[in-house]
Homo-oligomer: A and B are copies of this chain.
Amino acid sequence: MGPPMSSEINLNSDLGESFGPWQMGNDAAMLGIVKSANVACGFHASDPTVMTQTVLLAKKNGVSIGAHPSFPDLQGFGRRQMRLDEAEIEALVAYQIGALAGIAAAQGARVTHVKPHGALSNMASVEAGMAQAIARAIKAVDRSLIFLVTAGSEMSKAGRAQGLRVAQEIFADRSYDDAGNLTKRGHPQAMIHDPAQSLAHVKRMVEAQAIFSLSGKKIPTDIHSVCVHGDGEAAVAVAGAVRDGLQASQIRILPLPEMAALR
């Protein structure tokens, strides 16, 4: 794959994060904004019933469906680091992709991408071994799946080495450091809560196909997708502003499988 055409982009969000009686996020609102949904698979959130409802709602909204595999840690929401060996990681990724694919098939839908969640994603972004285990699992289950990863991460390299279609994402509500990594959450400017500021941040990076750090450094990289969040009214407002602003700039917002750059 080459770089995405400047006239198209994907918006994705982590959805289906309710569990049993507990609600999280505003899936209905977000599924009207984004074009690809990363659906929790029961390891950090969700359950078969929540997955079914999420898949149905995504399908109804023309939103493409991806598996959002995680470490097995409901209490910690998959955000706590766990040290698993590569065979365990391959197996749990295959399991979770399959579980969501089963739910999707039962609703006449399909899983078309995979985006690792939380600590699994954070660790695999910098550890080549973990990144390769995830990429191997995805390829083994279905080599047509798109691997949605943090731009410039070890997962990006591993996915390309395995011959997978790799979609690189940036975050609408986070700033970057000069190494191209997300600014640590403790930093006063780590988060971007203002819709207009977030849109400007995203637009600049999408149009330049580069990450811009807080200090102004430009780090060229392919950008296929923008991750937006749905927890809280502010987040939904940011997501909507990003969508509206990109469209106003004649950038088409597409589900991942429909992007020319990922065919």
- Residue interface mask A62-95, B partner, CB < 8 A = 1: 0000000000111111001111100110111011
A52 to B89, CA, bound (A): 12
Q: How many copies does the complex hold?
A: 4
Expressed in whole angstroms, the Cα–Cα distance for A97 and B49 within the complex equals 15
With A and B bound together, what is the CA distance between A261 and B107 in angstroms?
30
Question: How many residues does chain A have at the interface if contact means C-beta atoms less than 8 Å apart?
Answer: 49
From B76, B83, B98, give the contact of A102 (CB < 8 A). B98
Tell me whether A37 is interfacial, beta carbon within 8 Å: no
Asked if A24 and B21 sit within 8 Å, CB to CB, the answer is yes
Given contacts A48-B88, A82-B81, A88-B48, contact A102 B97 (CB under 8 A): yes
Across-interface contacts of A24 in B (CB, < 8 A): 21-22
Contact B91 A95 (CB under 8 A): no
Can you list 22 A-B contacts (CB < 8 A)? A19-B22, A19-B74, A19-B75, A20-B75, A21-B45, A47-B75, A47-B91, A48-B95, A51-B95, A74-B74, A80-B82, A80-B84, A94-B105, A95-B99, A95-B103, A98-B99, A98-B100, A99-B102, A101-B101, A102-B141, A105-B141, A107-B140
